[in-house]
Amino acid sequence: MVGTVAAVPATVGSMLGADAVVVLVESMKMEHPVSAPGSIEVTEVLVAVGDAVAKGDLLVVGKVATEAAHDDAAATVAGPDRLAELLEREALLDDAARPERVAKRHALGLRTARENVADLIDGGSLVEYGRFAYAAQRARRSEAELIAETPADGLVGGIATVNADRFGTEAASCVVVSYDYMVLAGTQGQRNHAKKDRLFELAERMALPVVLFGGHRPRHRGLRALRPPVGPGAAHRDRRGPVLRRQRRTPRLLRHRHRRARRVHRHGWPSHDRGRWPRRGRP
């Protein structure tokens, strides 16, 4: 097999642990990593990016690392503490990470998205989808800011159970979706939509009921019945339904049109309008 060197992570003097990538070779539109057989110290690199290599070619020269050097190499390969980073990301998802926004919402007599979900489902039963997602706004905001300000991209959703102790796990399973109005005012975004589509797809495929909190569009006419009209003439307005301004017919306007129609019928079309209208439009 003949390939081209795509990357050379190894450098002279670097300590590489077992299975660490030494050279990355591209062949047949695929990348093939060349790994170290054990803990080694690189003494010489014989290839560069763009070089053509074949099976059996010598790429890197190294020597077996000592025990102390092996420990240093393992620490270098491990990099930052991923577990601590994971726990930090999980902490940012809770309402406790946003006390000011939670207090503002409670002052309005409202609840948070996670409070609604927690009170509905059985404790510990939620399998949340896309919880580490954040708003797709990297062009104008930093990743750290988006992780802190837009947790879960404003949509808390997953599969959980409700009253499983009474009906069993299979019968009590459902899809729960709750829009978080503390994240960008509850608006929808790219990853937000992707999560919702994924959950609805699972609900259809697994025949699960869906519980949806939020998602209401302000002043949406389809939800008129949920907010009955008030004030004088409320019953009449509710019976007629929504009427656009250009469709309204006041009694004065109707009387004017009726008088004009009778006048045209009796006396013919006005002389000053005869040249403006086609013949078929005259009475």
- Express each pLDDT in 176-233 by its tens digit: 999 999 998 888 888 988 999 999 999 999 999 999 997 554 443 444 444 455 555 5
Domains observed in the chain: 2-78 (2.40.50.100), 86-213 (3.90.226.10)
Say what the pLDDT of residue 140 is: 81
Give me the mean pLDDT over the 246-274 stretch.
Answer: 63
The percent of residues in the chain predicted with pLDDT above 70, rounded, is: 71
Mean pLDDT of the chain: 78
Say what the pLDDT of residue 74 is: 47
d(CA 97, CA 5) in angstroms, rounded, equals 46
Phi and psi angles of residue 268, each rounded to the nearest 5 degrees, phi first: 85, 175
Token pair recorded at residue 206:
């697994």
- pLDDT(238) > 50: no
- Per the CB < 8 A criterion, the answer to whether 160 and 121 are in contact is yes
Q: Which helix (H) or strand (E) holds 145?
A: helix 143-149
Give me the mean pLDDT over the 260-281 stretch.
Answer: 60
3-state secondary structure of 23: strand
Of residues 140 and 224, more confidence is placed in: 140
The percent of residues in the chain predicted with pLDDT above 90, rounded, is: 36
Strands (E), 101-245: 127-128, 155-161, 173-179, 210-213
Token pair recorded at residue 205:
């495929």
The pLDDT confidence band at residue 250, using thresholds 50, 70 and 90, is low
